[in-house]
């Protein structure tokens, strides 16, 4: 890979992928990062990918926590895991906090956060074709399919039994460590 060239990406959901899935994580204290997360992000980088988080955080629109609290959690997540960026959707059409209570193009399964990351990091079509979406929810897999990414469903969040909708991911792994070990590590471009 040439120096400075844009890279393919491993897009990561947050809860259930990098941290323990809880219905709403409202502060840094409640954000329980998996012990293997940092090493996995290191492997992602070693293999020549960016690691970018795309996360629905409708708790902002619902008034459970503020956008400032969320940004504090994002900084903590970046520091503790080494991910390159965190994109979040604070919206929900049934929200109660004025400016966030609306439909949007960023809430997964819409691909708005992925396209924004592509613009910010100069990721092109060829890179996208070599990129992954890793998540624990049907909406993660649907976003990945919408954006043309290889999709990976993890069982470390809500588990495959609780999938809201039938989806057909390209791969199913127990957790992020299994993904980096079994899929990413053996990939040769
Ligand atoms: Zn949104």
CB-based contacts of 35, cutoff 8 Å, min separation 6: none
Give the pLDDT score at 2.
47
The token pair that represents 138 in the structure block: 């049907």
- 189 domain residue, yes or no: no
DSSP string, 98-112: GGG-S--SSSTTS-H
Provide the pLDDT for residue 15.
95
1 in a structural domain = no
Count of all residues that appear for the chain in the document: 189
The domain containing residue 19 runs over which residues?
9-184
116-139: average pLDDT: 94
Classify residue 4: in a domain, yes or no. Answer: no
In the predicted structure, residue 70 carries a pLDDT above the cut 90: yes
Residue 170 CA to ligand 1 centre (angstroms): 26
Active site residues: 13, 15
186 CA distance to ligand 1 middle (Å): 35
pLDDT given at position 1: 43
121 part of a folded domain: yes
CB atoms closer than 10 angstroms to residue 69 = 17
Structurally, how many domains does the chain consist of? 1
Is residue 59 in some structural domain?
yes
CATH number of the CATH domain containing 13: 3.40.50.1000
pLDDT at 160: 67
CB neighbours of residue 130 within 10 Å = 16
Q: What is the pLDDT of residues 7-60, one digit of tens each?
A: 899 999 999 999 999 888 999 999 999 999 999 999 999 999 999 999 999 999
Residue 109 Cα to ligand 1 middle (Å): 10
User: Residue 5: is its pLDDT beyond 70?
Assistant: no
Residue 82 exposed, middle or buried by CB count within 10 Å (0-12, 13-18, 19+): middle
Q: What is the pTM of this model?
A: 0.93
- Rounding to the nearest 10 degrees, give the CA dihedral for residues 106, 108, 110, 114: 70
Band of residue 4 on the pLDDT scale cut at 50, 70, 90:
low
């Amino acid at each position: 890979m040439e120096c400075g060239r844009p890279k393919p990406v491993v897009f990561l959901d947050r809860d259930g992928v990098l941290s323990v899935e809880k219905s709403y994580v409202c502060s840094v204290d409640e954000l329980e990062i998996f012990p293997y997360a940092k090493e996995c992000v290191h492997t992602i980088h070693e293999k020549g990918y960016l690691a970018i988080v795309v996360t629905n955080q409708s708790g902002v629109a619902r008034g459970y926590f503020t956008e400032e609290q969320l940004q504090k959690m994002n900084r903590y997540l970046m520091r503790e895991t080494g991910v390159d960026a965190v994109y979040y959707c604070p919206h929900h059409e049934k929200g109660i906090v004025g400016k966030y209570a609306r439909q949007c193009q960023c809430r997964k399964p819409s691909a708005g956060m992925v396209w924004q990351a592509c613009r910010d990091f100069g990721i092109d079509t060829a890179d996208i074709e070599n990129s992954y979406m890793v998540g624990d929810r049907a909406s993660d897999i649907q976003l990945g399919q919408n954006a043309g990414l290889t999709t990976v469903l993890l069982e470390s969040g809500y588990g495959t039994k609780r999938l809201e909708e039938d989806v057909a991911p390209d791969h199913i792994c127990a957790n992020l460590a299994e993904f980096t070990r079994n899929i990413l590590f053996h990939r040769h471009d």
